Structure 1
């Protein structure tokens, strides 16, 4: 970062471009209550204090990546989604914890930027509130909150520069299912959901789009090009599973889709999986 800053100064761009780096909440060792927040021992003085000093010298913000979805339970869903509740909002708690940790090192004057946050529209069954409606609620309420000027309990009357991840779903991304479905849009450019940023005609069309969701199962065997049918719960239509080059591809069908629309969407989605594909109702 020092090298980048030196380059920008030499090019007279330091007033236009600020150098920073984002941090996960893994830098914290204590977060409850937020007023007692502190950075992990060892990282606090040897890593983060010099970084914060650089931020102050260059007037750049401290950037964090809070993902409340990964801390969510049925009991804390309202608290996480900015719904009325008896306490505060979890995103506020995350920011205040970071603020307290910075204050402990003497850097409470620096701006905090939310470099990444978001909510997946699809995930694994064990996850709480992972669907398109909840994703729209979180991101929509987040935008309204961070731009309202209300701030947080420890940082009142402030707005926060915030970046929502991601613009598009990333269907080839490894890891849990939810990691592939943080997008506001699907890879075919259709909206995954609307958080109030779409034009009215696009928003209306998005509400009526029917999709087949294609998932990649990592535990597939190497018997390529074998089609099998797997039983699923009675509340879900049966699906066809086809393996390509040792990887399972699943197309899960929505209950509300009509047959013609469903077939068109399945064929469109599955066509991206392999030059050889077969989609059946």
Structure 2
């Protein structure tokens, strides 16, 4: 791709590929200066970064401090940049007190060993999930961004690259309920915003560290306040489990997983959660000919919110197609009085609206 861009006098456009921190030998290192590309892919990576160097293209690095700290059984506070961690790494004249600077400089060391010190690093994705993983919650996400964004805005750089501007892309504007789960269920919960355009936590995109919520989207329309739950019939446990699994295969039940906000529900409540996710995903279809809450005779529609503590049973936002067709569902109540559903076409448009408001 870069070769073709160069041929057509468009060399100012740079082609690059994002990489995760698993391209490095981090499992065998304790200091950034020991970092190199993994032995099994080093030859390929050296060729790649050499090409980047010759074309003045950046190396896009995705990193997730929460995942790195948990996977390596480090002090959890090392994932944050507020200097509360008891874990410190001394590397020559440099001292590392947080995972971001540690990983960023580790990448620089790997590039240096590949004779590519001039290649600029861009953080292609960094963020904090709010569900379905140990430590993934709203409070920790807010804590992470509270110091991370002012650090980036300061231009102070890292021990290996002091006084250097770091370009960063945040992951993610809103949750993605269809994202692949190769790393874990938490991948569907990176969103800074809920699906209705309401921010999950306080975050100051300017990097000034102000204690405020970003703009909230307006005019979001929800489906009626009704939920599909398990009727409690356990006469055939195998059938119940089959219908629960079927419901989750067609919807997002990641909040039921380890570390999730719905992990501690009873089995009956977990079945209800699965049934409701399916029901909402299918647009609350409950006509006689297309009853998405039938669930083999195990489901029933209820008017009262079955949410339990931190576990929300979401109500779907109205899809764009239904809005265009003149559906009569209202948007009663404020955004904070409603629960939230999956990403639909209208949510996609909403995300663009939110982005416009932020900018």
Question: TM-score normalized by structure 2?
Answer: 0.57
| 1:24–1:64 Cα contact (<8 Å) kept | yes
Distance 1:262 1:191, change over 3 A: closer
Matched with 1:188 is 196
Corresponding position: 1:222 with 2:243: yes
Calculate the aligned-residue CA RMSD, in Å. 4.1
Corresponding position: 1:160 with 2:173: no
Deviation for aligned residue 1:64: 1.0
Residue in structure 1 matching 2:140, options 134, 138, 148:
134
Matched with 1:120 is 129
Q: Structure 1 stretches of 5 or more lacking a match? A: 207-211, 226-230, 273-281
More strand by share: 1
* 2: CA distance, partners of 1:63 / 1:189: 28
Q: How far does the alpha carbon of each residue in 1:143-162 deviate from its partner, in whole angstroms, 9 at most, with x for none?
A: 22223222112222212111
Matched with 1:278 is none
Q: Structure 2 stretches of 5 or more lacking a match? A: 89-96, 218-224, 228-239, 248-261, 279-291, 300-304, 313-332, 345-359
* 2: CA distance, partners of 1:178 / 1:82: 21
Deviation for aligned residue 1:142: 1.9
Q: How far does the alpha carbon of each residue in 1:58-115 deviate from its partner, in whole angstroms, 9 at most, with x for none?
A: 1111111111111235862222110214522111111111111111121122111111
* 1: CA distance, partners of 2:37 / 2:139: 34
Distance 1:71 1:14, change over 3 A: same
Deviation for aligned residue 1:7: 2.7
| 2:24–2:35 Cα contact (<8 Å) kept | yes
| 2:203–2:212 Cα contact (<8 Å) kept | no
Matched with 2:187 is 179
Question: TM-score normalized by structure 1?
Answer: 0.71
Residue in structure 2 matching 1:67, options 56, 64, 69:
64
Q: How far does the alpha carbon of each residue in 1:236-264 deviate from its partner, in whole angstroms, 9 at most, with x for none?
A: xx784352477x9997444699xx88996
| 1:170–1:187 Cα contact (<8 Å) kept | no
Count matched residues: 243
Corresponding position: 1:56 with 2:44: no
Deviation for aligned residue 1:136: 1.9
Matched with 2:259 is none
| 1:149–1:158 Cα contact (<8 Å) kept | yes
| 1:52–1:62 Cα contact (<8 Å) kept | yes
Matched with 1:5 is 2
* 2: CA distance, partners of 1:140 / 1:189: 20
Deviation for aligned residue 1:171: 2.1
Q: How far does the alpha carbon of each residue in 1:151-186 deviate from its partner, in whole angstroms, 9 at most, with x for none?
A: 112222212111111111012334333111101112
